[in-house]
Amino acid sequence: MSVFGTDGIRGRAGEGLLTESTIKALAAGFATALGGGTVAIARDTRESGGWIRDAVIAGLTSAGVSVQDLGVLPTPALSYAVAYDSALDGGVMITASHNPWHDNGLKLFGPDGKKASDALQEASEAAFEAGSTAAPAAGTVTADGRDAVLAAYLKSLLGASIDRRVVFDDASGAAAGVLAEALGEGDRVALAPAPDGRNINDGVGAVHPEATAAKVLEVGAWAGIVVDGDGDRIALVDEQGTVHDGDAILGFLASSMQAEGSLTGGAVVGTLTTNGGLAAYLAERGLDLIRTPVGDRHVSAAMAARGCNLGGETSGHVLTPDLCPTGDGIRVGLHVLRMALGTGKPVSELLGAVPKFPSATRKVPDGHRPPIEGLLGGPELRPVLDRIGTGGGRPLVRYSGTEPYLRIQVEGPTGDLVEAWADQLAAAAGGVLGS
């Protein structure tokens, strides 16, 4: 089984794959797969980020790779630096994204600034499993490039000023300070507290957009913008306090790009979790929805294969390769709000145009992970799945690639039905996984 999940490596800091020695070995494996050069590293605000950074540096340099330590920066800023600095050959982001503070992880980036390809991940894993041999000469370490990288990244975000009251939430994470500066001067209302190493995603950020929604209503804001702990996911809140996820943002962008003639591939790429409402919205406009396995690197690969320039996930990873090499919550959020401002229409009207079919989700702790095929075909879940299918529902049951859970999602004709079906699936799965 691959050591990489849907978005790199993630888990409890100091345990499993995230012990100091294993992190060193993983970093050395990545360096070996790259074949040398210079790798930029950055991290979010978790208190474990410092010692994990030291372990990553030790592993990379032991395999002959030099390191540029950029300190605390959003994932998309690291990606941007790798993509546009010819002196950089890869990147490592130390983050657990939307997970709680006690987790951490590694996201790997190739020379193009995109998430490491399957081939690069496989080569890294093979080198990790084989064990690295110390390079004849260790790589060097520099730690003075953050200001220049951040300045270049912020310059790339420049655009029309948003002269409206906007609530912003940086999740007390890697985008702290950066999101505020990207928004520029104006009527801005901050939500998340200053990072303290343990408050990242704690009731704030893209996994808790309801906090921003409440604040938008409280202060009478025009909109709210929310990113996650490392800044690559986006959620937007309209003036009525309604939260709009990645599907709504994709629909709005697809319609706008189609109208201006810039949408390519005749399709938008989503995942198995993409709401059927987006598929229906696109179909009305003669566009296809291509579904991939969960994970934005799968979306990126399908986009390249089909020649598409728009894709993403319901969770808020939105890929716009014409704008940036990887998911960039800050950039996409600003882009959508600027486009909305230019129309003169309320954000609620623009993002609310994408329908959302009734859906329910559940998470079931997976103390052990029997093969998913056996679980789905077993006597506990199979009857429930069949009942959902014959009732017009669309169930999705999968193991999380980022957390120790079985994830359940059900779409269907009514809210009551999908809630009941999700409860039934969760109870059936719990009986198996808890045994």
Catalytic, 97? Answer: yes
Strand partners, 403: none
Rounded Cα distance between 95 and 9, Å, is 9
431 neighbors 380 (Cβ within 8 angstroms): yes
Following CA atoms 23, 25, 26, 32 in sequence, which dihedral angle do they give, to the nearest 10 degrees? Answer: 150
Q: How crowded is the C-beta side of 330, counted as CA atoms within 13 Å? A: 31
φ/ψ (deg, to 5) at 230: -115, 5
Residue entry with tokens 């940086």: 170
222 neighbors 344 (Cβ within 8 angstroms): no
The helix/strand/coil state of 360 is strand
DSSP symbols for 269-281: EEETTS-HHHHHH
356-372 as b/e: b if 16+ CB within 10 A: bbbbbebebebeeeeee
DSSP symbols for 168-202: EE-TTTTTTTHHHHHH-SSSEEE-SPPP-SS-TTS
Structure tokens at 332: 């996409």
Rounded Cα distance between 188 and 182, Å, is 11
Rounded Cα distance between 160 and 335, Å, is 9
- Set 62, 79, 97, 132: catalytic member: 97
115: DSSP letter: B
Where residue 299 falls (left for φ over 0; alpha for ψ -120 to 50; beta otherwise) is alpha
Count of helix runs (H) and strand runs (E) in the chain: 15, 18
384 neighbors 276 (Cβ within 8 angstroms): no
- Give the 3-state secondary structure of 25-50: HHHHHHHHHHCCCEEEEEECCCCCHH
Could you list the active site residues?
97
